[in-house]
Amino acid sequence: MERSFSEALKHRRTYYSITNQSPISDQEIECIVSTVVRHVPSAFNSQSTRVVLLLGESHKKLWKIVKDALKKIVPADAFVKTEEKIDHSFACGYGTVLFFEDQKVVKGLQEAFPSYQENFPGWSLQTSAMHQLAMWTMLEDVGFGASLQHYNPLIDEEVRRTWNLPEHWHLIAEMPFGLPAEKPGEKEFQPLEERVKIFK
């Protein structure tokens, strides 16, 4: 859509109603993922973020893993609503982006810079958050709707086992995306004067 960065950021919303259609090719989706991972900054240039793109059957498999995990802990009468939400808001999409942080990198930095060791886990999460926002904005800019979910640590072990991922990859968030089925609701904003202070 070729929006400016400011326009793209203003346009980004949470979409819970999505379909399994795509406005672009899989190759273009892969290009978005690669661009984000390569160019989003990270603390100490750690490049600690790891991303897994799930399309097709792999996307469906993820949300089955989520449902199976939740079925073990959610009461049967409440699980009907839970399953409906997953099926109609996440599993019905075109794909999912999984965000991980490589703990081997984080621990390596803690050892290399002991005076900052307590800060690196927090900086790692900030690095992941920047990747999430960039991915979300770029996906929406080409016509997708997306949301950010957090079913970790409930699904961590099964996700690692299913896709043979390293133990030191720590799952942070899941981002299902697809063609929007309807417009998102209006976003309410808190007064800026309560959130921004300017001094000259």
Taking the C-alpha atoms of residue 12 and residue 33, their distance in angstroms, rounded to an integer, is 17
Q: Is 40 left (phi over 0), alpha (psi -120 to 50) or beta?
A: beta
- Spell out the per-residue pLDDT of the chain, length 200, in tens: 578 999 999 999 999 999 999 999 999 999 999 999 999 999 999 999 999 999 999 999 999 999 999 999 999 999 999 999 999 999 999 999 999 999 999 999 999 999 999 999 999 999 999 999 999 999 999 999 999 999 999 999 999 999 999 999 999 999 999 999 988 878 899 999 999 999 99
Distance CA 159, CA 15 (A): 24
Long-range contacts of 149-156 (CB under 8 A, 24+ apart): 149/90, 149/173, 149/174, 149/175, 149/176, 150/174, 151/66, 151/69, 151/70, 154/66, 154/69, 154/70, 154/73, 155/62, 155/65, 155/66, 155/69
Instruction: Quote the pLDDT of residue 50.
Output: 98
Domains of the chain by start residue, with CATH: 14-180 (3.40.109.10)
* CA 89 to centroid of chain Cα atoms: 15
Decide: 16 and 178 in contact? Cβ < 8 Å: no
Q: How many C-alpha atoms does 54 have within 13 Å on its Cβ side?
A: 22
The length of the chain, given as a count of residues:
200
- Whether a cis peptide bond, with omega within 30° of 0, leads into 180 is no
Q: How far apart are CA 42 and CA 148, in angstroms?
A: 20
